[in-house]
Amino acid sequence: MIYRFSYLRWIAISLFFISFSAVAQQNLVMPDISQHATVSQRVGLTDIKIDYHRPGVKDRQIWGMLVPNNEVWRAGANENTTISFSTSVMIAGKEVPAGTYGLHMIPAEGNWTIILNKDYRAWGSFFYDEKKDQLRFTAKPEAAEHQEWLLYTFDDVTDNSTTVALRWEKLRIPFKIDVDVHKQVLADIEQQLTSLPGFGWQGWNQAANYCYANNLDLDKAVAFADRSIQINKNVANTFTKALILKDQGKNDEAAKLKEEAFADAAENDVNALGYQLLFAGKVDDALEVFKMNTEMYPDSWNVWDSLGEGYMNKGDKESAIQNYKKALGMSPENQHKRIEGVLAQLAMK
């Protein structure tokens, strides 16, 4: 019995010291000297994110000394600097698949080498393996205002591109990222149409309109319009198909469909169609629809108001004023202040 007690006590004491040793090895969480940061930017439907740590200059000589030339550098401090893309992108004329990459750079007296490496979990560049590179390309450094703490920015953002820039000390190292926005949007639209939006006519018509407005795959646009018409034929999807057919050079079919589109069409539906085209940048098509509405519903102040807005977007000031004045004379009192305000703005231009 005494032997059993001593044995069990020995086990308990041993476990205590093992546990104590494990606990003792845990470090406290303290602030990083080079603090952690993230920056992100959406281009179209593509999210781009950079995750990095920010070292300071601190009166040190950075380029060629702290950061040697012609050696792989982690483009930040501590762990890998990473860059991620939610969809594929184009860099230096080459496609980069969606995913996360280690971002490394090789500074030089002339152009720098920028590296996207598939191993983004490594610590800094100490375990960098060139065999795992996804892409290498060059970037030209530029002189810039002093930046004490290393910083990444997204500059020159457009509908389909942005420029990533590393800024530190008195250098800026930029590289451009391009996104095929229409390709991404169209793929996303097709995915959405396999869900709830696919049960209604509106989603298919929106898809057809997107293709038409951006001159994308007009055969696919017709297929979208046909699917919308099968679900519920109306002025919007019929006119959309007519516009697409016209762009395909099928003028007779287009003209016939336009006649069908406006047969017994409600004022509000025609007006909504006009604004849909206006917001898509198809101003001339929108004007055609607004004019048709004035012919179908000449006693409605709202159709003249919409036609005035169409001409204003066209830049035809005289026609815009003429139609807004007509709308003002027919409109209810609660619309007078708004229309008078628009007319006053037009008079100042």
Q: Which residues contact 95 (CB under 8 A, 6 or more apart)?
A: 88, 89
CATH architecture, domain defined by 182-348? Alpha Horseshoe (1.25)
pLDDT at 15 over 80: no
Residue 279 pLDDT: 92
Residue 6 pLDDT: 54
Residue 18 pLDDT: 47
Q: Which residues contact 277 (CB under 8 A, 6 or more apart)?
A: 209, 283, 285, 286, 289
pLDDT greater at residue 206 or residue 30: 206
> Which percentage of the chain shows pLDDT scores above 90?
84
Provide the β-strand partners of residue 48: 41, 85
Q: Give the start-to-end residue ranges of the domains of the chain.
A: 35-179, 182-348
The pLDDT tens digits for 194-217 are: 999 999 999 999 999 999 999 999
Mean of pLDDT over the chain: 91
pLDDT at 234 over 80: yes
The model's confidence at residue 25, banded by pLDDT at 50, 70 and 90, is low
